[in-house]
Chain A
Amino acid sequence: MTGARGVQWLLLLPSLLLLALLLGLPLAAMLANSLQPNVLLSFTGPALDNYGYLLSRSYYLQVILRTLRMAAVTTLVTIPLGYIAAMLLRRLSGRAGNLAIMGLTFPILAGPLTVVLGWMALLANGGPFLGPLVAAGLIGPPNLLGSETGVVISLVQFVLPFAVLTLYTGLRQIQPQLHEAARSLGAGSLSGFLHVTLPLSLPSALSASIIVFSLAASSFISPHYLGGAGQLTLTTLVTQFIMATFNAELAAAAAGLLLLLMLAAVIGITAAIGRFIRP
């Protein structure tokens, strides 16, 4: 190991220690707990029975599938929307750009709970937007509250700023000279986008997708308030086990599954988008 390398590791040490201590240890304790018997299942621990139980009940498989589906749909809707917004944002200059970014980040500052309570009022059949349409007979009652669609709508809104900011940073890093070069070589705006902007923005699209998917799959407030006990996801299931039946072991197993699935999803997304990224 060279001296410079040694210094690098030394500088990394505090953050690594902090991570190991504050994240690694509790996580290890939780995973160890997930291998223990509990009020519902008696077996001799440590063993994988809790995982086996969750993965052998169709209801829990549905919960897992729903979590993945919601996160996937949210990602598929958010990334194109965010991309368009980031492209527009890049064209705005100076004060207008700053204002737009402030407007975009405002929902994050307001906190997810406030915003979700707003969605609860908006998405009701008798709410201010849908209510008049339903009353006029223009649409049937859409029943968005307590539905997967309602949760996804609010999730898209929640993760959109994160996607836009990530994509915007990526787009800004593309040197303007490259666009000029493309134009001087006869590329139209579409072909310039397809051959210059899009490939160069893929790394930021990859980061944005990972951020959006992870945020959506691990979100709690939207599925709790807009989906409820009828549309459980892994996060709300964990809460049920902890808060209602005080079953920390089964909760830990459900959380372990969530962690595993997110890890798999991150690897999957990286593989899917990564192969289009040129080194």
Chain B
Amino acid sequence: MPLTRRSTLQALSALGAAGLVARPALAQSRTLTVSTWGGVTEEGLKAYVQPEFERLTGARLAYDIGGQGARYNKLLAQRANPPADVFFSADEAVVAGHKAGVLTTASRKNVPNIADIEDWALTVKAGTTAETIPGAPYTLIAYVLGYNPEKVKAPVTSWADLWRPEFQGKLAFTSPVHSVMPAFVIMAAEMAGGSIDDIDPGFRKLAELKPSKLTVFWTDWAPLAKSGDVTMATEFDYYFETMKDQKYPIEYVIPKEKGIGVPEYVSVVKGTRNQELAEAFLNLMLDPKVQASFAASTYSGTTSRRAELPDSVRSRCACGARVDQLRFFDPEMFATRRALWTERMNLEVVPSWQAR
């Protein structure tokens, strides 16, 4: 049929009629909105979780994509009518979210896969009871130390290498607002003879660094690694692996004092009308097969004891034996101290970084 205005109109009105017929069916099917990161996480969900979820529940998945901070602020602002049903975040935001009353617990009985999750992944204690869990720790990522192997001669082995004179002014370092910043304050304090309870030496020690770029996301500094302006960087292991795939001149090590282990959670948003669907989603994120697929495509580590990974994947993510090389900090402690410590970083440390 040649495409005339009339035939086009006819076709369009037929489509419209079909839409009207289909509408009652759509209204019946439920939708679970997932608040998560774009990029590898969103792609991984669409590839490995969405088909299985829709098959199991008959419900559909929708996405609310953005950085964790922006999405968390949405939860705070729209309590009465939550913008999502489940929320992806690092463990500290789970603690903060429960405290602020924007996240809620899940029923242990509806998330049976939680029984197979490694103990080290269960960092959030609030909300953990015989019947409930605060959320589902579905992956583990590690914050480690990277360097340009073409420019660095002496081996890099320790967080102390951040202070090596050759890297001053060539260093992409954790921004004061980065999620792992409190870990650096503690580790720097320990290096300078202090501790969590004697934290001042940490701020003084950090002030001795001379970063050339403060970063929150790997793309902040990646172009500078290519141009040679950055020869050392702190970053998550799975981003380093992504960069290696993209032929960036970068290698990384887990420092001998241990890398920073960060379990990432998916939790239920308080006020959701889909509590059971949300719990089904949490359970699926803890499924060993889903975790293995995720690890293979994103290099983020598995948390299920039953997840089986080929060696080629295992060697490139925070999985298995590498977990022993990681240190897990208490997210509760981060959540209580973050506001004050960020302020101290800004007022005491950043000014000396600027003087260069």
A contact set with B: CB distance below 8 Å: 39-40, 57, 59, 62, 117, 120-121, 124-127, 131, 143, 145-146, 225, 228-232, 240, 242-248
B224-235: contact bitstring with A at CB < 8 Å (1 yes, 0 no)?
101111000000
| Complex interface: chain B residues within 8 A of A245 (CB) | 177, 338-339, 342-343
> Which of B159-167, B267-275, B288-296, B345-353 touches A?
B345-353
Q: How far is the CB of A192 from chain B (nearest CB, A)?
A: 48
Known: A146-B214, A240-B177, A243-B73. 8 other contacts (CB 8 A): A57-B347, A117-B223, A126-B228, A146-B213, A228-B214, A229-B177, A230-B211, A230-B354
Q: Which B residues lie within 8 Å of A232 (CB)? A: 346, 350
Q: In whole angstroms, how far apart are the Cα atoms of A120 and B215 in the complex?
A: 14
Chain A residues contacting B146 (CB-CB under 8 Å) are none
Residues of B within 8 A of A62 (CB): 351
B107 on the A face (CB < 8 A): no
Quote the shortest CB–CB distance from B221 to chain A (angstroms).
10
Q: Identify which of A39, A120, A232, A244 gathers the most chain B CB atoms within 10 Å of its CB.
A: A244
Q: Is B76 an interface residue (CB 8 A)?
A: yes
Chain B 319-356 against A: per-residue CB contact (8 Å), 1 yes, 0 no?
Answer: 00000000000000000001110110011001101101
Say yes or no: A246-B73 contact (C-beta < 8 A), given A121-B227, A146-B212, A228-B214: yes
A127→B223 CA distance, assembly (Å): 9
Set A121, A131, A145: member contacting B212, Cβ < 8 A: A145
One digit per residue, 1 when the CB lies within 8 angstroms of any chain A CB and 0 when it does not, for chain B 63-85 equals 00001011011001000000000
Whether B229 and A228, one on each chain, are in contact in the complex, defined by CB atoms closer than 8 angstroms, is: no
A59 to B347 alpha-carbon distance, docked (Å): 6
CB distance from A229 to the nearest CB of B (A): 4
Q: Report the separation of the CA atoms of residues A247 and B213 in the bound assembly, to the nearest whole angstrom.
A: 24
In the complex, the answer to whether A243 meets B169 with C-beta atoms within 8 Å is no
**Known contacts being A39-B339, A228-B213, is A124 close to B346, with CB within 8 Å?**
no
Asked if residues A229 and B228 are in contact (CB atoms below 8 Å), the reply is no
Taking CB atoms and an 8 Å cut-off, the chain B residues in 44-77 that contact chain A are: 67, 69-70, 72-73, 76
Chief secondary structure at chain B's binding surface = helix
A-facing residues in B166-217 (Cβ within 8 Å):
169, 175-177, 211-214
Query: When the two chains form their complex, are residues A231 and B354 in contact, meaning their CB atoms are under 8 A apart?
Result: yes
Indicate if the CB atoms of A229 and B67 lie closer than 8 Å.
no
Chain A residues with CB under 8 Å of B356's CB are: 143
How far apart sit A143 and B354, CA to CA, in the bound complex (Å)? 12
Tell me, yes or no, whether B96 is within 8 Å of chain A by CB. Answer: yes
Q: Which residues of chain A are within 8 angstroms of B70 by Cβ–Cβ distance?
A: 243
A125 to B170, CA, bound (A): 11
Contacts of B96 in A (CB 8 A): 246
3 closest residue pairs by CB, A with B: A243-B69, A126-B227, A244-B177
Contact B339 A145 (CB under 8 A): no
Expressed in whole angstroms, the minimum distance between the Cβ of B169 and any Cβ of chain A is 7
Beta-carbon contact of A124 and B69 below 8 Å: no
Give Cα A240–Cα B149 distance, bound, in whole angstroms: 33
Name A59's contact: one of B229, B338, B350 (CB within 8 Å).
Answer: B350
The smallest C-beta distance from B179 to any residue of chain A, in angstroms, reads: 9
**Which of A127, A228, A240 contacts B227, CB < 8 Å?**
A127
How far, in whole Å, are A247 and B70 apart by their CA atoms in the complex? 13
Nearest chain A residue, comparing its CB with the CB of B347 = A59
Q: How far is the CB of B78 from chain A (nearest CB, A)?
A: 14
Most central of A40, A126, A229, A248 by chain B CB within 10 Å:
A229
Within 8 Å CB of A243, what residues of B? 67, 69-70, 73, 177
Shortest beta-carbon distance, A127 to chain B, in Å? Answer: 6
How far, in angstroms, from A4 to B215 measured CA to CA in the complex? 59
Q: What is the bound-complex CA distance between A232 and B346, given in angstroms?
A: 10
**Smallest beta-carbon distance A216→chain B, Å:** 20
Please state if A125 and B351 are interface contacts (CB–CB under 8 Å). no
Judge whether B229 and A230 touch: CB under 8 Å.
no
Q: How far is the CA of A248 from the CA of B347 in the complex (A)?
A: 19
* 21 contacts across the A-B interface (CB closer than 8 A): A39-B339, A40-B339, A40-B340, A117-B223, A121-B227, A124-B224, A124-B227, A124-B229, A126-B226, A126-B227, A126-B228, A225-B220, A228-B213, A228-B214, A229-B214, A232-B346, A232-B350, A243-B69, A246-B72, A246-B96, A248-B76
Q: Bound state CA distance, A231 and B353, in angstroms?
A: 10
Within 8 A of A (CB), among B15-70: 67, 69-70
